[in-house]
Structures are given as C-alpha cells and as structure tokens.
Amino acid sequence: MKQARLVETKKFIIEEADKPKANKGQAVVKILYCGICGSDLHVYIGHHPKVKAPVVLGHEAVGVVTQVSTGEERLKLGDRVAVVPLMGCGECEYCKLEQPNLCIDRKVIGFQTSGCLAEEVAIPVDNLIVLPDDCGDLQGALLEPAAVAVHSTGLLEKVRYSGKEVIITGAGTIGVLIGLLLKEVRGCNVTIVEINQDRINFAKGLGFKVINKITDFTGEEGARPVAFECTGNKAVFEMLRDIVPSPEVMVILGTFSREIETSIFQMCKYETFFIGSQMYTKKDLVEAAELMSTPLKEIFSKIVTDKIYKLEEVNEAYEEALNSKSGTKVIIKVS
Ligand SMILES: [Zn+2]
Ligand SMILES: [Zn+2]
C-alpha cells in the first residue's frame, strides 16, 4: 500500500509500505479523506516543538473498516468511521475521567504514531467512531476540527455568563467553526475580528459580522461579551482582554509561545473568567458527528475547500494549506 512520509522539512515522498494487520483491540481502516491541520503545518515547516520528520502525518481522517481483530465486536467490516486521534495513558486521573486531552502522557495518531496519510492504517477501536448515515465522507474529515469547536464552546458551561454577544479573533477553520456553533446552535450574535481579505470574504459569506480592529467591537449596549481567542498572538490577546466592556469569559484556543508575559493586573481587573481549551474528547467528536448529520451540515460543508488533492499531490496540498489565506480546509483524498 502507498503512504506519504514527510522525510524532511517541506518534503513528502510517496512510498510503499506493508499492509497493516489488526492486532488485539484494533481495526484496519482504509482511509478515504484526510484533512490538513494547523499542527500538521507546524511539523511540515519544522516548527513543531516535539514532532519532527520523518513522520507519516494525518489525524483528521475518515475511512472504511477493512479488518477487525478477532473477538472485537464494536465494529464490523464496511463501517464508515472517523478517527479520534487522541490517546491517553489510560491510567492517570484525567484518563479515568475520560479527559485524555489533559493527560500528561497523551499521544496523538499522526504525530507520535504513524498517521492517516496512508491507504490503510491499524487504529485502536477505542479511537474510532462510526459515522451517522447522514454524515458524508467529506464532512467526516471535518469532525476533528469541529470537535475542537464543540469542546471549547462546551467549556462555557463551567462558568456563569449572561450575554449572547460573542467576539472571536481569527477567521481560520477553528474560529469559523466556533462561530457557526454559537450562531446557528446557540443563537448568539457573533462578531469575528480578521484582517486578511480572503478570510474576511469567507467569514462574511457564512453570514458573520466581520471587523478589522478589535477596538471597533460594539456588542449590545453595555453587554459583556464572551470572547474566543484563536490567533495565538500576544497583542491580539491583550487587545481582546482589554476591550470595553471587558469580556465576561475569555476562552483561549490559540497556540501561544511559552515565554509570553502579560499583565495579571489586567486579567483580574474585571473578574473575567479565563478558560484554556485543550483539544477535545471522544464525546466532543461524537457530538460533532451528530451535528454533521443535521441540516447544519450544509453550512459546515462550506468549510471544506473545493480543491481536493490526491495522495500523490501531498506536497502541493501542504503548500496550498500553508499559503492559503482563507479559512477553508484543505483535504487529501487518500484512497
Ligand atoms: Zn487537527
Ligand atoms: Zn492519562
């Protein structure tokens, strides 16, 4: 079978590999589609702190079960499945609470294990969910980023917040998915802050109010907004924190460099709840799959790029994802 291996920075090769076998507790999945994630791009350009080439990337994947280990009854041949890439240690307190996203020893398929840019992959059955019939194959490849949005918006349940006003910084895939969930499912008034013209057009096309400058934000008279930071940029974080009226809750998804210093005084001034959001859990992926089988899937589908690349075109696909300024997702048709 064929697989794409990143052999050095910005260079994939297509190679032949042995067909995988389903060991105990595993199923072999024939991968149909695999999305390119921002974290994949970090590895591609050699900036990822932990994951380096050579590696077979790919964790936003959907496929069909072609082999199941003996005695395994949770899946059958032909099941359409989406990959849940997160693997906790299974032992720690977080894993016991089904929060492997917080496990210190967590692994991610396609980073610490061989990923889904391969025609077939052996994956633990625990890391697969069966797609609802109404969720198309392509939408299945959106479930992982959609789960990030489901998870981060679900964190709002942990705090009190009164308003329906929402401000999101960054109209990338994640920012836009969060906006869609809050607008379409929770009926919030969503404003997205973005400066890139392609992304502005994309977000506007999805019906969002888009502004260029955070300071231009005007929510409902006097209402404190809920803010989602999706850029990982210190200046953006601080401007968002310091808007007037101050955010009631601020959920942080952007990947920030470790050395950033900021004013704790400003963080305390208006009793804003700051919530860090870390990946997702399997439950979030299941919830995302349910959303993808409602009429909302039409809107979510607009996030998939209209250009779908073949596995052999993996280098072009990554360049497109790297240079594309719009919030759409680049997808590789693996087999
Ligand atoms: Zn991802
Ligand atoms: Zn653990």
Q: What is the pLDDT of residues 43-66, one digit of tens each?
A: 999 988 889 999 999 999 999 999
Ligand nearest to the CA of 95: 2
- Residue 254 is assigned to a structural domain of this protein: yes
Which ligand gives the minimal distance to the CA of 91? 2
Query: In this structure, are 233 and 176 located in the same domain?
Result: yes
What's the confidence (pLDDT) of residue 79? Answer: 97
pLDDT at 64: 98
Tabulate helix, strand, coil % of the chain (nearest 5). 30, 25, 45
Q: Is residue 284 part of a domain?
A: no
Q: What is the CATH number for 59?
A: 3.90.180.10
Residue 209 corresponds to which tokens in the numbers above? 């109010």
3-class DSSP state for residue 118? Answer: strand
CA of 68 to the centre of ligand 1 (A): 25
Neighbours of ion ligand 1 (CB under 5 A): 37, 60, 144
pLDDT less than 70: residues of the chain: 306
φ, ψ for residue 211, nearest 5 deg: -125, 160
Establish if 294 belongs to a structural domain: no
The backbone torsions φ and ψ at residue 5, rounded to the nearest 5 degrees and listed phi first, read -115, 130
What per-residue confidence (pLDDT) applies to 94? 96
Both 162 and 262 in one domain: the answer is yes
State the DSSP code for 55.
B
CATH of the domain at 172: 3.40.50.720
Is 73 among the domain residues? yes
Q: Into how many domains does the chain fold? A: 2
Q: Which ligand is nearest to the CA of 141?
A: 1
Same domain, 136 and 7: yes
d(CA 310, CA 210): 34
Per-residue pLDDT reduced to its tens digit, 70-114: 999 999 999 999 999 999 999 999 999 999 999 999 999 999 999
Q: Please state the pTM of the whole predicted model.
A: 0.93
Residue 28 shares a structural domain with residue 156: no
Mark whether 128 and 233 lie in a shared domain.
no
Domain that holds residue 168: 148-276
Q: Which of 276, 292, 321 is the last residue of a domain?
A: 276
Residue 161: inside a domain, yes or no? yes
Instruction: Count CA within 13 A, CB hemisphere, residue 265.
Output: 1
